[in-house]
Chains A and B, each alone.
Chain A
Amino acid sequence: MKLSVQDLNSHYGPAHILFDVALEVGEGEVVALLGRNGAGKSTTFRSIVGLVAQRSGRILFEDKDVSDQPTHAIVSRGLGYVPEERRIFTDLTVDENLEVGRQPVRPNAPHWTREKLFTLFPNLAEMRNRPGGRMSGGEQQMLTIARTLMGNPSLVLLDEPSEGLSPKIVEQMVAAILTMKQAGVSIVLSEQNLHFARLICDRAYIIERGRICYSGTMAELDARPDIRDTHLAL
């Protein structure tokens, strides 16, 4: 098992956000975490990588318990995290952004070099010395993913990669994520756009009000319009 999350509970101050969340991701699998805004998708990701201070439960990454470790230590084990809102370093150039993400090669994960990443995202190759702040939203989204891949992760958490992007760019994103999958990276993807998730994912969890309320294969979910209607408000 690549990642196993058990009984995850998270709080922000007085607010209890996640309730006994459980997730499993197999080797090389692409899993969707679906849910509306505020359902707890981002909090789940942030909790897994240790960016939420108040959390309890067990998080096993490659069968090692990482629940008590700080963010950088979890990420250094090969668990990459791409947050929503892009969050690239706008003052740094594309090359420097990639430099921040650089980590040593890992035996159990694909090795990404700058050249490989520029093949994956050709737009970036043309603007290596451009400050991140002068890139378009789509290019920034590509850069955040490339930056995380510089850490040679074996698993990547992608938080709403299609949000706020034009349909055309979203299609490029689909292609890039499929390439990552073929290279052997396991992926968890949070999404509201079911069209998008359907093109990429093997399995899906639905989260609502901080609780996992459905899990199944993408095909099963497709056959259950009632579930989609109740929990995703399609």
Chain B
Amino acid sequence: MSTAPTLLSVEGLSKSYGGVHAVRNVSFALQAGEILALIGPNGAGKSTCFDMLNGQTTPGAGRINLLGFDTTGKKPREVWRLGVGRTFQITATFPTMTVRENVQVALVSYGRQLFNVWASTPQFARDEAGRLLELVGMSGYAERPCGELAYGDLKRLELAIALANQPKLLLMDEPTAGMAPRERIELMRLTAGIAREKSIGVLFTEHDMDVVFEHADRILVLNRGSLIAEGSPEEVRRNPQVRAIYLGEGLVYDARHREGAPS
């Protein structure tokens, strides 16, 4: 993995709101094909970090380098143009369109056809949209109104939309929030499979330790805006500071992932 090219490198990222340091001097790097989890207590600054990477929030200090470009302070759509796909904690899709149309809009944007007033969108990039839906196992739902999808399916649709710009990096904010345990595992398996196959780097936040320990190659732990630990799932699980601040006694996630349990 160390030979893979660095997709994303973050140096000294900071942000404060009204005197409160939401994120303090955070630095890390992410390789192609790597799945990196960002965990930490509520309010530790995970969302702020994400918003800065994605361009929704301008960093107070620090540098973000994405694929060799300095994207510090760039707008979300500029970051997207460079090859970053994003899914949201609460899914954001277009409920009045069909599933296929949701993906087509993303493809329209990727093909720089947004101001085309003449073409017929229902015919635009149909096959390409179909392929993306197939990739996430949603082919059977292509003509369904998006507003009628079940929650887990919406998450998969979001993944298809996020893949439309052939991203090099996926940012996923609590990708499995609100899902049943098996759905969580399935979604993350799907994501991991696609990421490995296409050499996409994935950065995700998550509170479900079963998902994190199962799928992350590496874990970053954030507390009060600062990075307090970084390492493999095994290292993080054994880290006493992380256990004190975040993991607790391990009563509320799968026993297999508690400290000392055989992997």
Query: Do the two chains touch directly in the complex (Cβ atoms below 8 Å apart)?
Result: yes
Tell me whether B142 is interfacial, beta carbon within 8 Å: no
* Among candidates A134, A169, A194, residue contacting B41 with C-beta atoms closer than 8 Å: A169
Tell me whether B228 is interfacial, beta carbon within 8 Å: no
Are A233 and B41 within 8 A (Cβ)? no
Are A137 and B42 within 8 A (Cβ)? yes
- Which A residues are closer than 8 A to B by beta carbons? 36-38, 134-139, 162-171, 174, 192-196, 199, 232-234
Are B181 and A167 within 8 A (Cβ)? no
Q: Using Cβ atoms and an 8 Å threshold, which residues of chain B touch A167?
A: 207, 209, 246-248, 250-253
Task: Provide 17 A-B residue pairs closer than 8 Å at the C-beta atoms, listed in order of the A residue.
Answer: A36-B183, A37-B151, A37-B180, A136-B44, A163-B178, A164-B177, A167-B209, A167-B251, A167-B252, A169-B41, A170-B248, A171-B249, A192-B178, A193-B252, A195-B251, A195-B254, A232-B181
Are B42 and A138 within 8 A (Cβ)? yes
Closest beta carbon of chain B to A74's beta carbon, Å:
27
Q: Using Cβ atoms and an 8 Å threshold, which residues of chain A touch B254?
A: 195
Given A37-B178, A166-B207: A171 in contact with B43 (beta carbons within 8 A): no
Closest beta carbon of chain A to B225's beta carbon, Å:
11
Given A135-B43, A136-B42, A164-B174: A174 in contact with B252 (beta carbons within 8 A): yes
* Among candidates A169, A233, A234, residue contacting B42 with C-beta atoms closer than 8 Å: A169
Are A195 and B253 within 8 A (Cβ)? yes
- Total CB contacts across the A-B interface at under 8 A: 86
Residue of B nearest to A199 (CB): B251
- Which B residues are closer than 8 A to A by beta carbons? 20, 39-44, 89, 150-152, 174, 177-183, 207, 209, 245-254
Q: Using Cβ atoms and an 8 Å threshold, which residues of chain B touch A134?
A: 20
For the complex with contacts A167-B252, A171-B248, A192-B179, 19 further pairs of A-B residues with Cβ separation under 8 Å are: A36-B179, A37-B151, A37-B152, A134-B20, A135-B43, A136-B41, A136-B42, A137-B43, A138-B43, A164-B177, A164-B207, A166-B39, A166-B42, A167-B251, A171-B252, A195-B254, A199-B251, A199-B252, A234-B182
Residue of A nearest to B242 (CB): A168
Q: Using Cβ atoms and an 8 Å threshold, which residues of chain A touch B179?
A: 36-37, 192
Are A233 and B183 within 8 A (Cβ)? yes
Given A171-B248, A171-B251, A174-B252: A166 in contact with B180 (beta carbons within 8 A): no
Residue of A nearest to B250 (CB): A167
Closest beta carbon of chain B to A117's beta carbon, Å:
20
Are A162 and B181 within 8 A (Cβ)? no
Q: Using Cβ atoms and an 8 Å threshold, which residues of chain B touch A165?
A: 42, 207
Given A167-B209, A195-B253: A233 in contact with B248 (beta carbons within 8 A): no
Closest beta carbon of chain B to A64's beta carbon, Å:
34
* Among candidates B152, B182, B245, residue contacting A168 with C-beta atoms closer than 8 Å: B245
Are B42 and A163 within 8 A (Cβ)? no
Q: Using Cβ atoms and an 8 Å threshold, which residues of chain A touch B253?
A: 167, 195
- Complex CA distance for A37 and B181, rounded to whole angstroms: 10
- Complex CA distance for A156 and B90, rounded to whole angstroms: 26
Q: Using Cβ atoms and an 8 Å threshold, which residues of chain A touch B150?
A: 38
Given A134-B20, A163-B178: A170 in contact with B43 (beta carbons within 8 A): no
Are A234 and B246 within 8 A (Cβ)? no
Closest beta carbon of chain A to B202's beta carbon, Å:
20
Are B209 and A38 within 8 A (Cβ)? no
- Complex CA distance for A199 and B178, rounded to whole angstroms: 20
B20, B183, B251 interface centre (most CB from chain A within 10 Å)? B251
- Complex CA distance for A170 and B249, rounded to whole angstroms: 10
Q: Using Cβ atoms and an 8 Å threshold, which residues of chain A touch B20?
A: 134
- Complex CA distance for A12 and B42, rounded to whole angstroms: 32
Given A36-B180, A233-B180: A136 in contact with B43 (beta carbons within 8 A): yes
Given A138-B41, A169-B42: A192 in contact with B252 (beta carbons within 8 A): no
- Complex CA distance for A168 and B181, rounded to whole angstroms: 19
- Complex CA distance for A192 and B182, rounded to whole angstroms: 11
Closest beta carbon of chain B to A123's beta carbon, Å:
11
Q: Using Cβ atoms and an 8 Å threshold, which residues of chain B touch A199?
A: 251-252
Nearest 7 CB-CB pairs, A to B? Answer: A136-B43, A137-B42, A233-B182, A36-B180, A233-B180, A168-B248, A171-B248
Residue of B nearest to A168 (CB): B248
Closest beta carbon of chain A to B181's beta carbon, Å:
5
Q: Using Cβ atoms and an 8 Å threshold, which residues of chain A touch B178?
A: 37, 163, 192
